[in-house]
Structure 1
Amino acid sequence: MVLMWRKCRCGVTVFVRTSHTVLCLGVAVSLLVKKTALRTALVEFQDPAYGLSYLFVLLFSLAMYFLACLVDPGYLPLQNGTWSRVPNNNSDEEHGDEEEGMADETRALDRTNRQRPCDYCEIRQPMRSKHCEECNQCVRKYDHHCPWLDVCVGERNHKFFWIFLLSMSVLILWSLHITRTAMVHELLWSDWFSSNVVFLIDLAILLPSGFVVGGLVSFHTYLMVRGLTTWEVVSRERISYLKKLDDDHNPFNEGCMHNVLHFLASMNTRHWESIYSRRVNVKQAGIV
């Protein structure tokens, strides 16, 4: 069963990532084949800087896409070849929580280090981690499982995902401009359609993609500046370390500049428990 699941996931992954690559390259090739500003600049070599700049943005966006796909999002590691299992002892502190139900995040919250047991992996999750049922692993600073990457977005690859969205937004806007200016005007509708059918296909790809990517890059820019994750925004009322705080209180907000700097420049995972403890009165939060 596990082997079949892995083969299925592998097939989906190859299909998704191949589809993205084909769509990106297909639009670019169509703009090079037809009479466009890109063809004039690159193929006819009238403005090579313009054409090479477009190709750079295209290749850069693809590179960021595959970095976001292939970089470990922050899967919780194995210890000595096995998962770090939740201790199974009879202490009053942990046993009471187990009796009340480990599925309840608030009751299962460890009273000492605020690490929540995962019901699937049976490991202690660091704060801001969550189990992804698609990947079947726990992810540090879990944001969401992206179907277009077919991988989780977490602490280690979130910045690459954001850079990919930003570069893809630039590429889509640039491609839309080239497509719009290249459309041919004809007197007859049939002649107009015949002359512009390739551009219409490009528009059918670019316009909905532009709305989706533009919305995502705006939302994830907001998350980056505020020091939040999609999971925390969407499920705040169900997250044990957030739901008893005031709605406008974000314990992980270190200021816009620090949030952006850590998001884009940090290469290591952070100890969110200590950051949380410095900004929250634990007693008032109802955790101890």
Structure 2
Amino acid sequence: MDPGFVPQAGVSEEQEAMIPPLPKTVQVRRCGYCMVKQPMRARHCRVCQHCVRRFDHHCPWIENCVGEKNHPLFVAYLAVQLVVLLWALHIAWSGLYFEGSWKWLKHNIFLLLSFVLMAIFTVVAVLLLASHLYLVSCNTTTWEFMSRHRISYLRHCETENPFDQGLVRNLWRFFCTCHLVAWEKMYFQEDSDPV
């Protein structure tokens, strides 16, 4: 699925008119690989060879970038994976039968090993889902969270996160809206217009 690739043709004049002028401390980047003008929160993925809007990360498990268009589906994918793993853990646990002697280990070794492996994957899925839900609730991305000191629009920003609009609005915007956002407007709204 398209994660929100920035079109190679760049931004149209109409879309560019919607974007407010940027102050000198924030420079609009031109991608050194695609040579397109990147909107705010976009980043070039070297694996996909495209710039992605609201880039979160490149996921090797789905062999795609996670960006503005497919991030809600990625979170749903993590939730489904967690439910399937919990169900598999339940099935594996119910198949184990314990006896007083060590004979039960001989009969259940493969089931026990699969249970341990699924338990490890379940812990990983829980941690991934929890971290993404936390980032979504703050309206930030994995890339922004990990590389804040290298991103010009965050490095020079006075607030911790200029895109955070509160828990409810962040979750609503993430899960219930399906249009692309002009992040530049949200970034500069706080400076000019207190909400």
TM-score by shorter chain over 0.5: yes
Deviation of the 1:204 alpha carbon: 3.7
* Partner Cα separation in structure 1 for residue 48 and residue 120 of structure 2: 28
Q: 2:60 aligns with which of 135, 143, 147?
A: 147
The yes-or-no answer on 1:184 pairing with 2:97 is yes
Q: Which residues of structure 2 form unaligned runs of 5+? A: 12-21
Matches within 5 A, 1:1-288: 71-79=1-9, 84=10, 111=24, 114-189=27-102, 191-246=103-158, 249-280=160-191
The structure with more radius of gyration: 1
8 Å CA contact 2:28–2:40 kept in 1: the answer is: yes
SS of corresponding position for 1:131: strand
Identify which of structures 1 and 2 has the higher relative contact order when contacts are C-alpha pairs closer than 8 Å and 6+ apart: 2
Deviation of the 1:201 alpha carbon: 3.6
8 Å CA contact 2:137–2:167 kept in 1: the answer is: yes
* Partner Cα separation in structure 2 for residue 200 and residue 207 of structure 1: 10
Q: Structure 1's 218 and 141: CA in aligned 2 closer, same or farther, altered over 3 A? A: same
8 Å CA contact 1:251–1:280 kept in 2: the answer is: no
8 Å CA contact 1:113–1:273 kept in 2: the answer is: no
Deviation of the 1:168 alpha carbon: 1.5
Deviation of the 1:214 alpha carbon: 0.7
- The Cα offsets for residues 107-137 of structure 1, whole Å up to 9 and x where unpaired, read as xx88599531111111100000000111111
Task: Give TM-score scaled by structure 1 length.
Answer: 0.59
Q: List 4+ stretches of structure 1 deviating above 3 A.
A: 109-114
8 Å CA contact 2:27–2:152 kept in 1: the answer is: no
SS of corresponding position for 1:116: coil
Q: Which residue does 1:3 correspond to in 2?
A: none
Q: Structure 1's 274 and 183: CA in aligned 2 closer, same or farther, altered over 3 A? A: same
Equivalent position amino acid for 1:264 in 2:
F
* Partner Cα separation in structure 2 for residue 212 and residue 138 of structure 1: 28
- The Cα offsets for residues 213-244 of structure 1, whole Å up to 9 and x where unpaired, read as 11000000001111000001000000000012
- The Cα offsets for residues 53-106 of structure 1, whole Å up to 9 and x where unpaired, read as xxxxxxxxxxxxxxxxxx210111133xxxx49xxxxxxxxxxxxxxxxxxxxx
- The Cα offsets for residues 133-168 of structure 1, whole Å up to 9 and x where unpaired, read as 111110000001111111111001100110111121
* Partner Cα separation in structure 2 for residue 110 and residue 208 of structure 1: 48
Equivalent position amino acid for 1:212 in 2:
V
* Partner Cα separation in structure 1 for residue 95 and residue 168 of structure 2: 42
Q: Structure 1's 209 and 216: CA in aligned 2 closer, same or farther, altered over 3 A? A: same
* Partner Cα separation in structure 2 for residue 208 and residue 256 of structure 1: 30
Equivalenced residue count is 182
* Partner Cα separation in structure 2 for residue 151 and residue 169 of structure 1: 20
Q: Which residues of structure 1 form unaligned runs of 5+? A: 1-70, 86-108, 282-288
Task: Give TM-score scaled by structure 2 length.
Answer: 0.85
Q: Is the helix fraction higher in 1 or 2? A: 1
Equivalent position amino acid for 2:180 in 1:
T
